[in-house]
Amino acid sequence: QIDRFGRFKLWHIGGSVFVGISFSSVFGGCLLCTILGTDSYLVRTIGYSFFAAVFNIGWAATQVSHMSMVNCMTSNPTSRVALASCRNASTMVANLGLYGIALAVFGIVKAKTCADIVVQYKWIAYVSIFVGCCFLVLFHAGTEEPTLKCEPNCKKRARIAWSYWFKKTLYYQVALLYMLARLITNVSQSLIAFYVTRDLRMNEYSKATIPAIIFCCSFLVSVVLQEMRWNSRRLKSLLTIGATLWVISGAAVFLLPSQMHNLMYPLAVVIGAANALVMVTTIGLESALVGEDLNGCAFVYGSLSFLDKMSCGLALFVLESYDVASSCGDARGLNTVSRYGTGLIPACFAVLAIVVASTLRLQDDDVARADRRARASAAAGALEAPLLV
């Protein structure tokens, strides 16, 4: 629908409204229970599931429109990857900002009962929504609707059929790489809090400090990446480096004994850098896949996001179906879900990503072989100024 009707900003703000409403409803209590005057398990399940579904509809509209805007703002490959790096850095800032909001709320609202804990998380949700709305207004006031899609020299002005992408080998390669990148980051981040407290027996603060280190390092690497000049060879090389770092750190996380839990801090640094390398390069590959076919870019981002959400949901469902009580974690040594999900399984996904990346054959690879002058055109299209400095 975004490809058909355009108007990225309209889709973005509509999705953001859905996200705000659903988030406030999920954390604000069961609205359906209040309307029906009952608090049964069935009604609560339906009520929370409905707003969780609304959230995902809104998030899809927001994410796909926002990612598609990048390709329609510039056709320069270096600028596209730089914008993706800037986007990833901002995501890390948002994650760290949430930690700051939570720290402030926990300090102001003291929890003595379960009801107090519910109030704490309500305030965290409400403050996060308010801050998000402020940045939403700033974004829409300061960003114009991209016009590159409407320029006369834009290829394939008619809306591109889905079958066009399904005939391209690169589509399946990039889809697999993006899915693997999301599996690596999402699965590991979902279980790392259980890993550091349950398997490594670190203190409760480690549930926040370890992810915070990962986010900080990811932010710093993203800032560095957005200043680089990009081509397909560099995309593949840095993707391979990021995946290799994950293989090493994932194996170390899986084998790390609880007596050496302090090594988790340097490992978090490596994981943060690897996450940034993997995510920025795979999103850059999505832009390379789209190229100048701007009237089909939303389908590319939407279909790949759908694939990553389904795969991550399935992976977490399978992992958590094997989970047991935390009291049994120590007795089973390395054989715990959190160890597998934080270390070994993401490392296996990273190995697959290295294999798939080695088969990539992007367009400017062929151009470089046929005509060395492609280097000059790539240099001419580099960013004239950094994005964040």
Q: Which pLDDT belongs to residue 364?
A: 58
For residue 156, the model assigns a pLDDT of 46
Residues spanned by the domain of 16: 1-73
Q: What is the pLDDT of residue 329?
A: 45
In-domain check, residue 85:
no
Domain with residue 191: its CATH number is 1.20.1250.20
What pLDDT shows up at residue 370?
A: 38
Burial (Cβ within 10 Å: 0-12, 13-18, ≥19) of residue 258? middle
Contact 65, 15 (CB under 8 A): yes
Q: Do residues 205 and 351 both lie within one domain?
A: yes
Total domains in the fold of the chain: 2
Please name which of 349, 368, 3, 378 lies closest in space to residue 165, comparing C-alpha atoms: 3
Residue 39 contacts residue 30 (beta carbons within 8 Å): yes
Q: Which residues have a Cβ under 8 Å from the Cβ of 95 and sit 6 or more positions away?
A: 211, 215
Same-domain pairing of 352 and 205: yes
Residue 91 forms part of a structural domain: no
226 and 361, same domain (yes or no): yes
Q: Quick check: is 15 in a domain?
A: yes
Is residue 151, in this structure, part of any structural domain at all?
no
What are the mean pLDDT values of the chain's consecutive 10-residue runs (389 residues total)?
Answer: 85 92 83 83 89 90 89 84 89 90 86 84 90 92 75 57 88 94 93 89 85 93 88 90 95 91 93 95 90 85 91 91 58 76 93 93 54 40 40
Residues 25 and 32: their CA atoms lie apart, in Å, by: 10
| Residue 86 is assigned to a structural domain of this protein | no
